[in-house]
Structure 1
Amino acid sequence: GRLIITNIRILWHSSTSPRINLSIGHNCILSTSTKVVNSKLKGTTQALQLLTISNGTRYEFIFTNLIPGNTRHFTSVMEVHKAYNSSRLYRELKLRCAIIHNKQLKILPQEQVVSTLMGVWNLSSDQGSLGTFHVSNVRFVWFADVNEGFNISLPYLQIESISIRDSKFGTALVITSSEASGAFVLGFKVDPEETLRNLYKELTSLHTVYSAKPVFGVEYKYSSGKEYTEHNNNLVEDYEALEEPKGEIGNTIVAYLADEGHSRDRPPVFSPELGLAVEQVKEG
């Protein structure tokens, strides 16, 4: 098959039947490594091992390259996954993390600060906390003036809604995070009200722009050697197909469908595995 590596996932599909395919998001990958395996096609060879988890179930995937000694795809997978893990601030809600140093926001690569507001109240407590509000092209950040460790970083990717509501503190900016990030409801008080509404318009506009063209923060520059050229990416050495699927039906099912000499339907029998009555399977 063919292995495709992007900035957010890994794809594989069969060369003979593209509908047989696999998509693995980098967020599902627990670890990446290489190991020596015994291949039916090439004997002992090096393989890429991916340990993943989805909906609480763990999976293991092993990929081998048909070109002996060619491990450039393996290196790319591990490097891109490393870049993905190091760029989670672009995509995940963070509370009380090391994003501020000496009252200054640590700017991420590809991030541009649009505006900074002083004297913004965070309404998470009964008294409220006074702090600084940063707006960038990928997220907003607020931190307390008396304790920069008390902060929040929320990417536009995880914002469910932005609105202006009345609260016991007066008119407030309310930002709701997505269910995947905990469905937090964050309230901020900005004076005067005109500044609050300008901030609301700014965040709404940036959120719309980001939704149309998101910035995931995953950067990887692939540099190949002279022995590899772009047109060789899809070429492999001669190989022998062990099984050539005919259509999209597995061989086991085909054995039951190819019923030559069938004259009439067999009587139904109860299948405890399916919990249904099915036509009796032919002998053999």
Structure 2
Amino acid sequence: MWQDSQIRFDTSLSDMQVGHGEVIIDKLDMIEDVKGNVGDQGRLVISNLRIIWHSLALPRINLSIGYNAIINITTKNVNMIHGNVSQALHILTVYKNYRYEFIFNNLNTKCTRHYTSVIGVYRAYVSSKIYREIKLRGGFVQNKRLTILPLENISSTTPGVWNLSAEQGNVGTFIITNIRIVWFADVNYQFNVSLPYLAIADVCIKSSKFGPTLVITSVESNGSYVLGFRIDPVSKLYVLHKEITSLRDSHRRMPIYGVEYVFECQGVPKLELNENDTKEVQDIDDEISDVFGLYFSESEVSQRKPCFSLHLGLAAELPREGSSLQSLWELLPST
């Protein structure tokens, strides 16, 4: 699953299509990408995993912004070419150690869904991380009972399962649902772990000093945890392994990401995120840069070492990683 974690520029049309479990929540036309495509009308597609913008004239000019790469969303006032002030959506992101910012403006000045929908869906994404990320010592067990998530159904509950994370192990209750695996200790139910299928890389049975053990490994983005559970008798171990494998395969075919958003019938939701009322005049001919450079957000500007370029026949400052002097030069018009 890459849709919610990556930022892609001018991606293929197939990557713009929704993936398994991805749902389109809102779609708006007349949306302008102020940072990279000023004056070009585009479409903003809001899914439960990401924001997609593409030019209506040339769909190959597009953006895909995963919610997990976003660090802040707010609104900002932008001066339009004809002199009016418009409230635009301002998104600050971090991806592969680079900071990018995106500004989307609605050319239909009476519509505010370009920021109310995005902010609402983003909040729903952030508040539903338990569907997608490992949670340790969480509040999802109360009085030795699992708090059931929306769309979650318990498949089986097995007492007397040993968590082998400690040297001596801890005995507790092992719960399998259609969304995740949960274990909590009998002595202290706050000593627990929630393992969503979306965060699991592998489930297998291995030999250990405790005997045959159910071993669960998380994906790298979720810490690459390795957890072992001893289940007696061994026949029960194999039954639970088969049950987990079957439910995990079903979840892969139709993932449940937990992002639910209901449109407000009236009015605009109150924004709790920090608002930035700074007015910004955008100049179409401000600078010529590669597609990534148009969206870079840097707190400090530092010069890079000059290097002789055979392509240009002179020394020039080294470009950012991911671009070359030749690719930047090719962006200049031929006349």
TM category (shorter chain) comes to: 0.7 to 0.9
Q: Give, in whole Å, the separation in 1 of the partners of 2:325 and 2:88.
A: 41
CA contact (8 A) 1:96 1:149 kept: yes
Residue number among 143, 162, 180 corresponding to 2:203 in the alignment? 162
CA shift digits 1:137-195 (9 cap, x unpaired):
11101011111111111110111111111111111111111111111111100111111
Q: Give, in whole Å, the separation in 2 of the partners of 1:100 and 1:40.
A: 55
Counterpart in 2 of 1:258?
A: none
Identity percentage of aligned residues? 50
CA contact (8 A) 2:217 2:227 kept: yes
Counterpart in 1 of 2:86?
A: 45
CA shift digits 1:8-61 (9 cap, x unpaired):
000001122211111111111112222221011562111111111112222221
- Give the SS at the match of 2:313: strand
CA contact (8 A) 2:175 2:182 kept: yes
Length-normalised TM-score, structure 2: 0.68
Counterpart in 2 of 1:117?
A: 158
Q: CA 1:108 to 1:269, structure 2 compared with 1: closer, same or farther past 3 Å?
A: closer
Residue number among 47, 54, 62 corresponding to 1:6 in the alignment? 47
- Give the SS at the match of 1:272: strand
- Of structures 1 and 2, the one with the larger relative CO (CA 8 A, separation 6+) is 2
Shift of 1:222: 3.0
Q: Give, in whole Å, the separation in 2 of the partners of 1:189 and 1:42.
A: 69
Indicate whether 1:136 and 2:136 are aligned: no
Shift of 1:99: 1.2
- Give the SS at the match of 2:193: strand
Residue number among 164, 183, 188 corresponding to 2:229 in the alignment? 188
Question: Unaligned 5+ residue runs, structure 2?
Answer: 1-41, 267-282, 285-289, 292-310, 317-323
Aligned residues: 243
Question: Unaligned 5+ residue runs, structure 1?
Answer: 226-241, 244-248, 251-267
Range that drifts further, 30-39 or 20-29:
30-39
Q: Give, as a single letter, the amino acid of the residue that structure 1 aligns with 2:258.
A: G
Residue number among 241, 258, 261 corresponding to 1:220 in the alignment? 261
Q: Give, as a single letter, the amino acid of the residue that structure 1 aligns with 2:99.
A: R
Q: Give, as a single letter, the amino acid of the residue that structure 1 aligns with 2:255.
A: P
Shift of 1:3: 0.5
Q: Give, in whole Å, the separation in 2 of the partners of 1:186 and 1:14.
A: 46
Q: Give, as a single letter, the amino acid of the residue that structure 1 aligns with 2:256.
A: V
Length-normalised TM-score, structure 1: 0.79
Q: Give, in whole Å, the separation in 2 of the partners of 1:110 and 1:13.
A: 32
- Give the SS at the match of 2:162: strand
Q: Give, as a single letter, the amino acid of the residue that structure 2 aligns with 1:130.
A: V
CA contact (8 A) 1:42 1:66 kept: no
CA contact (8 A) 2:105 2:114 kept: no
Q: Give, as a single letter, the amino acid of the residue that structure 1 aligns with 2:47.
A: T
Counterpart in 2 of 1:147?
A: 188
Runs of 4+ residues deviating >4 angstroms = none
CA contact (8 A) 1:134 1:140 kept: yes
Q: Give, in whole Å, the separation in 1 of the partners of 2:233 and 2:161.
A: 11
Residue number among 315, 327, 332 corresponding to 1:272 in the alignment? 315
Q: Give, in whole Å, the separation in 2 of the partners of 1:269 and 1:105.
A: 65
Higher Rg = 1
Shift of 1:223: 5.5
Q: Give, in whole Å, the separation in 2 of the partners of 1:148 and 1:191.
A: 21
Q: Give, as a single letter, the amino acid of the residue that structure 2 aligns with 1:194.
A: S
Q: Give, in whole Å, the separation in 2 of the partners of 1:63 and 1:270.
A: 39
Q: Give, in whole Å, the separation in 1 of the partners of 2:252 and 2:315.
A: 49
Q: Give, as a single letter, the amino acid of the residue that structure 1 aligns with 2:229.
A: F
Q: Give, in whole Å, the separation in 2 of the partners of 1:42 and 1:68.
A: 13
Range that drifts further, 143-152 or 38-47:
38-47
Q: Give, in whole Å, the separation in 2 of the partners of 1:174 and 1:158.
A: 14
- Give the SS at the match of 2:188: coil
Instruction: Within 5 Å, give how 1:255-266 maps onto structure 2.
Output: none
Counterpart in 1 of 2:138?
A: 97
Q: Give, in whole Å, the separation in 2 of the partners of 1:25 and 1:41.
A: 32
CA contact (8 A) 2:134 2:196 kept: yes
Shift of 1:269: 6.2
Indicate whether 1:28 and 2:69 are aligned: yes
